[in-house]
Chains A and B, each alone.
Chain A
Amino acid sequence: MSERTDYLDLDTKDETFLDATELVLNMGPQHPSTHGVLRVILKLDGEKVLGTECIIGYLHRGVEKIGENRTYTMFNPYVDRMDYVAAVSNGLGYCETVEKLLNVEAPPRAQYLRVILTELCRIASHQVWLGTHALDIGAITPLFYCFRDREDILRIFEKYCGARLTTHAFRIGGCIYEAYDGFEQDCKKFCEVFLPKLDEYEELLTTNRIWVERTKGVGILNPEDCIALGVTGPVLRASGVKWDLRKAQPYESYKNFDFEIPTGVNGDTYDRYLVRIEEMRQAVRIIRQAVDGLPAGPIMAKVPKVIKPPVGEVYHSIEAPKGELGYFIVSDGSTQPYRVRVRPPSFVNLQALDKMVRGLLVADVVAVIGTLDIVLGEVDR
């Protein structure tokens, strides 16, 4: 268990810690609360965490290397396999970056379709987060509620593109599939049904004493630390920084929609919970507006059959459910990207774990891993 003490050269010493022998405890990689194959080495004093070391890479598939060896079109489905609970967002980020390189823009109808599906995906991702996070802390019911309601979204995805999880819904230049008959009604019905269900989740948790005790004041991250650590997404917003790429640098048709950016005050686990819940409400708002305003017209821009972007390099990022998801692509003018770099939100956010759990108890580590909402497929790529 403690064969690799060289990982831990931590010098935190606090008078409040007992002067007992420090214990090095290995958590994961096969552990239900690490949400995949994350291994955390904990340095403990009694039950207090003195420091942590994350060992990652168990799911490393070399996505960036694969990207260099595939054409732009062929690489598109691969990106869905990074953050597999929010595959649509991954695809959106990639397609947009290549479109930027090509200097084309998706037609309005495609942009609206993209927004609808991405926001549905955001809700689905947050549902997985809420269900598993609550399960980690001991509340089992939300898991069933969330996965039951997520099914409605997956059904829309399946009807739209034939896949539930790794959807490959978008293509470079727009969308390949026209909205199926009844797509708008399905989305509207989902919104209608989902909002009361969201209240149900809140009824179970928001004022639940156990939930509040386990999450309030746990894993506090102040805004300065967030920015220094590059933390983005709901974790950043829960610390009070009102920053969302959909507003700050609007992409697709987000500037046409009216929605709020929820923020927290304390930057603790409870605030991050509230922020994500509110984000689901805002996503519903966006979906409703987008469905109502869905313009007619083509869904595919004029892109060449063989995608060969001109020589150059571009960085573009979107607000994925977990934070800023960026792609940096270098084109050498051939059919294959010269370099694809993915800026994964989970990877960067996970780095904050150490700062958040120092001084807390082991059980809180589980809560903090859950609240960071990491997906190891994206951390390791």
Chain B
Amino acid sequence: MPEEPKGPAPVSPPAGGEEPPAATSPVPSKTVVQQPVAAPKPEAAAASKPEPAKAAEPVPGEKAAAPAVAKPAAPAAKPAPKPEGPKPEPWESELVTRLRHEHGSGIHEASTYLGQKYLVVDKAILHDILMRLRDDERFDYCVDITAVHYPKREEQFDILYILYSFPQNERVRVKTQIKDGDSVHTAVDIWETANWLEREVYDMFGISFDGHPDLKRILLPDGWKGHPLRKDYPILQQDQEWVKINLGIESGQ
């Protein structure tokens, strides 16, 4: 394998590195300076390329796909058969019947999408439902807690609990929708693992959890302003003030 990067490297840089200076710059000393600058580029490009050339028929299709995506989506519209796509189907089971019987209209939706089951429940009964799922339906393992931000909706946030049952080898997602500024009851009393997971949701979305034993930021520093996974937080945004005070630089970008 050392041969592969080496192979194209000595060949291409002299060709690519020497010609432009000869054409553009009359000063001979510049060629010396430019050569090492130009050299890494073809090398890096060559290092990532040599493999696809080797592969068999199906590759050209995918090889074309990578650059196509990198460019703006000009050819995107025509081949895509739009009205396709699986739809959520109603999920009927004893579990849902039992929960519906008990909580009635609190269960807004019980569906499956691509074979994955989920429940949409009212915020008011969320904690009861989670408790019931663990105690009576044996969903003993809380895989993940996360949130999704939909700024255009009135109830801006989806909070998701991904649960798994060891005895039944089954997954279910419990989802609830809340408004910005609302809080939900913590699940730490149901699953200990919720502690850090809820802290992360708080850190990234600014959703608070009532009764959480230690609700504070987890990944970002304590004094940071803003919640980065909200949709109104652009990717380049940062807490300038914090960066200035704590890192002593103008910008972390």
A306 touching B73, Cβ below 8 Å = yes
Tell me if B39 counts as interface (CB < 8 A to partner A). no
- Complex interface: chain A residues within 8 A of B4 (CB): 162
A317 touching B146, Cβ below 8 Å = no
- Chain B: number of interface residues, binned into ranges: 35 or more
Tell me if A189 counts as interface (CB < 8 A to partner B). no
B162 touching A304, Cβ below 8 Å = no
Tell me if A310 counts as interface (CB < 8 A to partner B). yes
A348-B235 in contact given A158-B1, A339-B148 (Cβ < 8 Å):
no
Tell me if B61 counts as interface (CB < 8 A to partner A). yes
B79 touching A324, Cβ below 8 Å = no
Q: Which single member of A176, A310, A326 contacts B85 (CB below 8 Å)?
A: A310
A229-B193 in contact given A178-B55, A315-B171, A341-B146 (Cβ < 8 Å):
yes
The residue of chain B having its C-beta at the shortest distance from the C-beta of A306 within the complex is: B76
- Complex interface: chain B residues within 8 A of A56 (CB): 218-219
- Residues 54-82 of chain B: 1 if any A CB is under 8 Å from the residue's CB, otherwise 0? 11111101111110111001011001100
Q: Looking at B58, B64, B166, which has the most chain A CB atoms within 10 Å of its CB?
A: B58
The residue of chain A having its C-beta at the shortest distance from the C-beta of B160 within the complex is: A328
- Complex interface: chain B residues within 8 A of A313 (CB): 113, 148
Which of A59-67, A142-150, A212-220 sits within the interface?
A59-67
In the complex, what distance in Å separates the CA atom of A328 from the CA atom of B161? Answer: 11
B114 touching A57, Cβ below 8 Å = no
- Residues 235-276 of chain A: 1 if any B CB is under 8 Å from the residue's CB, otherwise 0? 000000101000011000000000000000000000000000
- Residues 185-196 of chain B: 1 if any A CB is under 8 Å from the residue's CB, otherwise 0? 000000111011
Tell me if B86 counts as interface (CB < 8 A to partner A). yes
The residue of chain A having its C-beta at the shortest distance from the C-beta of B57 within the complex is: A298
B219 touching A177, Cβ below 8 Å = no
Tell me if A335 counts as interface (CB < 8 A to partner B). yes
B143 touching A343, Cβ below 8 Å = yes
In the complex, what distance in Å separates the CA atom of A251 from the CA atom of B195? Answer: 29
- Residues 294-320 of chain A: 1 if any B CB is under 8 Å from the residue's CB, otherwise 0? 000011100111111011111101000
A315 touching B173, Cβ below 8 Å = yes
Tell me if B169 counts as interface (CB < 8 A to partner A). yes
Q: In chain B, residues 154-199, which have Cβ atoms closer than 8 Å to a Cβ of chain A?
A: 160, 162, 166, 169, 171, 173, 191-193, 195-197
Tell me if B242 counts as interface (CB < 8 A to partner A). no
Q: How far is the CB of A64 from chain B (nearest CB, A)?
A: 6
A-B pairs with beta carbons under 8 A, tally: 167
- Complex interface: chain A residues within 8 A of B173 (CB): 315
Tell me if B220 counts as interface (CB < 8 A to partner A). yes
Tell me if A74 counts as interface (CB < 8 A to partner B). yes
The residue of chain B having its C-beta at the shortest distance from the C-beta of A349 within the complex is: B193
In the complex, what distance in Å separates the CA atom of A298 from the CA atom of B57? Answer: 8
- Complex interface: chain A residues within 8 A of B73 (CB): 306, 335
The residue of chain B having its C-beta at the shortest distance from the C-beta of A161 within the complex is: B51
The residue of chain A having its C-beta at the shortest distance from the C-beta of B231 within the complex is: A68
A57-B219 in contact given A328-B160, A341-B144 (Cβ < 8 Å):
yes
Q: How far is the CB of B201 from chain A (nearest CB, A)?
A: 10
Q: How far is the CB of A96 from chain B (nearest CB, A)?
A: 12
A300 touching B59, Cβ below 8 Å = yes
A228 touching B192, Cβ below 8 Å = yes
Q: In chain B, residues 123-171, which have Cβ atoms closer than 8 Å to a Cβ of chain A?
A: 140-144, 146, 148-149, 160, 162, 166, 169, 171
State the majority secondary structure of interface residues on B. Answer: mixed
Tell me if B104 counts as interface (CB < 8 A to partner A). no
Q: In chain B, residues 210-236, which have Cβ atoms closer than 8 Å to a Cβ of chain A?
A: 217-221, 228-229, 233, 235
- Complex interface: chain A residues within 8 A of B218 (CB): 56-57
- Complex interface: chain B residues within 8 A of A343 (CB): 143-144, 146, 162
Q: Looking at A229, A300, A306, A381, which has the most chain B CB atoms within 10 Å of its CB?
A: A306
In the complex, what distance in Å separates the CA atom of A178 from the CA atom of B64? Answer: 16
A348 touching B47, Cβ below 8 Å = no
Tell me if B40 counts as interface (CB < 8 A to partner A). no
- Complex interface: chain A residues within 8 A of B93 (CB): none
In the complex, what distance in Å separates the CA atom of A307 from the CA atom of B51? Answer: 23
Q: In chain A, residues 177-195, which have Cβ atoms closer than 8 Å to a Cβ of chain B?
A: 177-178, 180
- Complex interface: chain B residues within 8 A of A341 (CB): 144, 146
- Complex interface: chain B residues within 8 A of A141 (CB): none
- Complex interface: chain A residues within 8 A of B143 (CB): 230, 315, 317, 324, 326, 343
- Complex interface: chain B residues within 8 A of A100 (CB): 114
B52 touching A177, Cβ below 8 Å = yes
Tell me if A211 counts as interface (CB < 8 A to partner B). no
- Complex interface: chain A residues within 8 A of B94 (CB): none
Q: Which single member of B88, B166, B171, B235 contacts A69 (CB below 8 Å)?
A: B235
A-B CB contact pairs (8 Å), 20 listed: A60-B219, A74-B69, A159-B1, A161-B51, A176-B52, A176-B59, A230-B143, A230-B192, A231-B193, A300-B58, A312-B86, A313-B113, A314-B113, A315-B143, A315-B162, A317-B143, A330-B148, A339-B148, A341-B144, A381-B219
- 10 residue pairs, one from A and one from B, having the closest CB atoms: A310-B85, A230-B193, A57-B219, A300-B58, A306-B76, A343-B144, A178-B55, A305-B65, A73-B69, A341-B146
Apart from A299-B58, A343-B162, list 19 A-B contacts with CB within 8 A.
A56-B218, A68-B235, A69-B235, A71-B69, A74-B70, A162-B47, A162-B51, A177-B52, A177-B55, A180-B54, A229-B192, A231-B193, A305-B68, A305-B69, A314-B114, A314-B116, A335-B76, A341-B144, A380-B219
Residues of B within 8 A of A (CB): 1, 4, 47-48, 50-52, 54-59, 61-66, 68-70, 73, 75-76, 79-80, 84-86, 88, 113-114, 116, 140-144, 146, 148-149, 160, 162, 166, 169, 171, 173, 191-193, 195-197, 200, 204, 217-221, 228-229, 233, 235
